[in-house]
Amino acid sequence: MLRLLLICGVSLTQALDNGLALTPPMGWLTWQRYRCLTDCTTYPDECISEKLIKRTADMLVDEGYLEAGYDYIGIDDCWMEKNRSASGKLVPDRERFPSGMKMLGKYVHSKGLKFGIYQDYGTKTCAGYPGVMGHEQTDVDTLVSWGVDYIKLDGCYSKPEEMKTGYPDFGRMLNKTGRPVLYSCSWPAYLEPDSILPNYTVIAENCNLWRNWDDIEDSWQSLLGIMNWFGDNQERLAPFAGPGHWNDPDMLLVGNYGLSLDQARVQMAVWAVLAAPLLISADLARMRPEFKEILLNRDIIAVNQDPLGKQGLRVYNDSKHHRQIWTRKLSDNSYAVAFVSTRVDGVPYAVSFSHGDMKIPAQNYRVQDLYNEEEDRKLGADETFTTRINPTGVKFFKFIPVGQSEEDFKDPEEHTLKNVNFNTDNDLDKTVVVV
């Protein structure tokens, strides 16, 4: 059996010392839904503007998202004028942000929310607006003066050797201001696609969260591609996730156009197992009730926000039969287990799995359906677990140990990162040590 030995209970690195993101950040971002839409004449309700941000801030509060934990609201690219001021400062677009960013930040804060903004460690942002390179201290001082609480720093128009020093330097400048600013880096996302292996030890020391891979697109194909990439690379990603520092598979698509209800449930479940940031990017004014229910599911949010901060794993991957299992250990000694079907055709089908398949200790459990479709049930130590999954769907359960002493709760393989790409043949006998 393939075993990747590491001490999962102890972080391999120290997080950015700003006291933030002790659980994965939650909030709302503009990019996936609104991209770089700047034509407010034709699209007054969808363009990147203070009107959009204020309306969304109101809805985050009024519709229960803030109460559920979604407390950041962030503006992505395309909020600036194309040129800096005469003194070299960033200037918000004068027509779309007539009140200025400082006043917008005050409005966001008045709602009990935190204010996020985008910049780029390069000469330009991805959409061609001014980047921070050569203006780092000026931009840090400007953004902090506006009351920014979250900075997403992209990586267009910069080189890997520039990122190596630029991202840490920018983070240190933020820390020196004394303002607690959540720092989101896109650093590894510009290395991984070019097969440059990032130094995640250094990244986790300098960033609260970091984009690892390609931008997510509003489709099942894109979502599945990112899930599989994380599953295929989890042995070198998972050790660096924990309180204060998180892998980021990108924004939630839930409530947009590209995912069915079942597929949206898959993303929410797998993101919860991955301890991923939960960053909505959808039009809250047009959010259908069934998708809102997914985003506000308290039981699943609790899995995502579990204080143990241990990233879960894809522990079973049967590509022939198009089924996966994603498992995460939680702080109360229970396990969150997502059974995913990647089939795109057919009808719901029944599957049965052993404790070993799920990578949970062989003991008795009370099983809670986190999507509330089934009544709680029991699973004995010698029984297999059977459930029925829709095509491109998920069943998401919490396995809660019962009839055990505290000593019995201990995982006998606590220090083992289990089975990266488990298959039904079970003929792997290679041992790999992660250092």
Active site residues: 154, 215
C-alpha–C-alpha distance, residues 53 and 30, integer Å: 9
Q: Is residue 74 within 8 Å of residue 34, measured between CB atoms?
A: no
Give which of 302, 301, 335, 322 is closest to 418, Cα–Cα: 335
C-alpha–C-alpha distance, residues 347 and 367, integer Å: 24
Q: Where are the beta strands (DSSP E) in 60-213?
A: 72-75, 114-120, 150-154, 182-185, 209-211
Residue 305: exposed, middle, or buried by beta-carbon count in 10 A (0-12, 13-18, 19+)?
A: middle
User: DSSP state, 130?
Assistant: B
Q: What does residue 204 show for φ and ψ, rounded to 5 degrees?
A: -70, -25
C-alpha–C-alpha distance, residues 276 and 312, integer Å: 10
Letter for the amino acid at 207?
C
The stretches of 63-159 forming alpha helices (DSSP H) are 65-68, 101-110, 136-145
